[in-house]
Amino acid sequence: MSKHVLSIVRETQSNNATISTFAISGSSVRGYILERPGPDTSESMRRKRIPEGRYFLKWHNSTLPGVKKYNPVPLLFSSAVSPNRGILIHNGNYPANTDGCLLVGASRGIDFVGNSVVKLKEIKTFLDKVGIENVTVNIRSFYTE
């Protein structure tokens, strides 16, 4: 059983993106997440968001040009979504910056999250402190628009 949960609640969606709020239990870490639009899929190469559910985390060294300088970054996986799908939590601001990964930010707008690098560093600091293996991710939807 994990000691901490990164809870993600999908709140708005458009033709371009899904915007969520997130909070990590036992911490003051909170913010926003931008994902690709739906529908959800566990299939690779679809440029869609991952299904709702519970995920585990492990560190991953990305080769993505805008991400690799912040390595390692968290990789999500579950019984339904293989680690090989490469779903990462990383920096980025717009839907064009993700093929299915979760972009984190300290602010949000329409199809946008801001201050992404600052928020990624905050999450990584927390994961380093408690141990990434002690944190799970829970994704659910509660659309307000």
What is the tens place of the pLDDT at every residue in 32-70? 999 999 999 998 888 899 999 999 999 999 999 999 999
Average pLDDT, the chain: 96
Mean pLDDT of 69-94: 97
Say if CB 113 and CB 8 are below 8 A apart: no
DSSP three-state, residue 42: coil
Domain map of the chain by residue range? 2-139
